[in-house]
Chains A and B, each alone.
Chain A
Amino acid sequence: MTINPQGQQDKYRGKISQRVERLSPSGIRKFFDLLASMEGVISLGVGEPDFATPWHIREAAIYSLERGYTMYTSNLGMPELRELLSRYLKDTYNLEYEPGGELLITVGVSEALDLAMRAIIDPGDEVIMPDPCYVAYSSCVILAGGIPVMVPTSEENSFEVSAADIEAQITSKTRAILLGYPSNPTGAVMPKDKLKQVAEVARRHNLAVVSDEIYAKLVYGVPHTCLAALPGMKGQTILLGGFSKAYAMTGWRIGYAAASSEIISAMTKVHQYTIMSAPTMGQVAAIEALRAGKDSVAEMVEDYNRRRLVIVEGLNDIGLSCFEPKGAFYAFPSIKATGMTSEEFAEKLLIEEKVAVVPGNAFGKCGEGYVRCCYATSLADIEEALSRIKRFVDRHC
């Protein structure tokens, strides 16, 4: 009930659609509110780089504003950006995408995910995805009228999803497989041979594979395998990528989808009515990132890697066993030794030691017993957080 300016109670109660009502999560809301009210918190709960966007990229965007690049772009995105992206995918994965019809520039991978689901799903269609996974996956499927089907993954298998487990979930309603590796929240990277097995299942059952490869450049000592680059997979893969994580460009909101012209034109239909075009300033920045961002990325990756090694060793020393994440910027330690649930652990740790981590169950049932710790945080903060977590665990174990 709200009070209007005349001091009367506003009687209107809007009906919220069931589809939206059903979307999770409110349980974790309480935790966020608590966090927002506290000061002096070290947050390992973030999901983005701690670097500001490299200066050459920001400077290019500033210059574009001076020159008056303030209008809509083509629905598909600026031709120059699509050209560069096409070349990038060719150089990196030997994949050929036509800039004029097989690439779409989106408002982050977030929009691309939504478009992909809306483009391929009819009501009741099922989409298979690993559990735990990025929070938006199941919601995007639900919003498109589909049904998310979770395939459990576990620490014992390095949180890699198995082809056999996927195949076991396939029904006549299955429309697609949705993968996100390197993984948020686990940091897992799919080795090529395992990914090949998944690809085989997809081909055998004629399923589309939506592959969110936003963390592709953030891998440490292992290669990233692009799903679309596996033999015979380009046609049925919707490859999603973006600039947010690798180039520290989360606020610019630029991502992309690469797929067959049929799928891209379907996605573009939705995009043109809901978005028109991705932000122009962000697209200009993305052009600069593709042209000259290589060294900045390499430097950031090197830096993340050092912090990764420090946090993983630190957590293991504390007694929170932590499998070695090979990608993204998250560590996903088990907190089972404390006997607490993920939410209890996160809430108590926040209240008692002022360290914020994300309870693993926010990412699916299989995330229970774990917490996500982002190490895209200064080394000093990581070390302070580790010593607070140690104090906390020593007290409770």
Chain B
Amino acid sequence: MLKEILKILEGDARITAEKLATMTGTQVAEVKKLIKKAESDRTILKYKTMINWDKVGDEQVWALIEVKITPQRDVGFDAIAERIYRFPQARSAYLVSGTYDLAVLVMGKSMHEISDFVAQKLAPIEGVQGTVTHFLLKRFKEDGEILAGREETKRQPVIL
């Protein structure tokens, strides 16, 4: 039941406990209890709003930074990863397989700001062998949402 509730909430965080109860055939009190628990054990990390900032003309610059690092004894990649992801500029950080080790999504107000961050903060960290910066040029789809808009359904109003 928790999974079912989480799935619905992931799609729309504003659905009320009452509606969740109807949709899953559960008691409202039980839904509230499950949500509360999920919040406190950090199964639910937070509720947020997805915004298309382009619409309000807000300049945001994003870059995907490939980071190659030398793993350290006992802690592997984790210690260096932590030094990187603790920076608020790093919005997401992942350990990945392939030709580099960390993929870090960085956000800033300008290209300049991001390149400064990479050159002055990220690259000099001990154990970082090298970085490759890819600036994001166009956002097509974000977390399952196509930014150009959803397809309209083109249905006849009545079919018997």
Contacts and interface: CB of A to CB of B under 8 A. Distances in A.
Contacts of A292: none
A32 B158 contact: yes
B110 to A, nearest CB: 36
Nearest to B153: A50
A48 interface: yes
A48 B155 contact: yes
Interface residues of B, number: 14
A71 interface: no
A369 B22 CA distance: 26
B158 A356 contact: yes
Given A35-B158, A43-B158, A52-B151, 20 more contacts: A32-B158, A43-B155, A43-B157, A46-B158, A46-B159, A47-B158, A47-B159, A48-B159, A51-B153, A52-B153, A306-B23, A309-B23, A310-B19, A310-B22, A310-B23, A313-B22, A358-B158, A358-B160, A362-B160, A363-B160
Nearest to B23: A306
A16 interface: no
B155 A35 contact: no
A46 B151 contact: no
A351 interface: no
Nearest to B156: A46
Contacts of A23: none
B111 interface: no
A222 interface: no
B2 interface: no
Sort A-B residue pairs by CB-CB distance and give the 4 closest, nearest first: A47-B159, A45-B158, A306-B23, A43-B157
B157 A45 contact: yes
Interface of B: 8, 19, 22-25, 151, 153, 155-160
A47 B160 contact: yes
A45 B23 contact: no
A48 B156 CA distance: 9
Contacts of A309: 22-25
A41 interface: yes
Nearest to A357: B158
A35 B159 CA distance: 12
Nearest to A43: B157
A201 to B, nearest CB: 28
A362 B159 CA distance: 11
Contact of B155 (A46, A306, A310, A363): A46
A135 interface: yes
Interface residues of A, number: 22
Contact of A306 (B8, B151, B160): B8
Contacts of A3: none
B152 to A, nearest CB: 9
7 contacts: A46-B157, A46-B158, A47-B159, A135-B160, A306-B23, A310-B22, A356-B158
Contacts of B155: 43, 46, 48, 50
A35 B157 CA distance: 8
A36 interface: yes
B19 A36 contact: no
Interface in A39-70: 41, 43, 45-48, 50-52
Contacts of A52: 151, 153
A382 B8 CA distance: 16
B17 to A, nearest CB: 14
Given A52-B151, A306-B8, A36 B22 contact: no
A306 B4 CA distance: 10
Nearest to B160: A135
Contacts of B8: 306
A48 B153 CA distance: 11
A41 to B, nearest CB: 7
A45 B159 CA distance: 6
A361 to B, nearest CB: 12
Contacts of B157: 35-36, 41, 43, 45-46, 356
Contacts of A48: 155, 159
Contacts of B159: 45-48
Contacts of A41: 157
A99 B77 CA distance: 56
A318 B54 CA distance: 42
Nearest to A378: B153
A41 B23 CA distance: 25
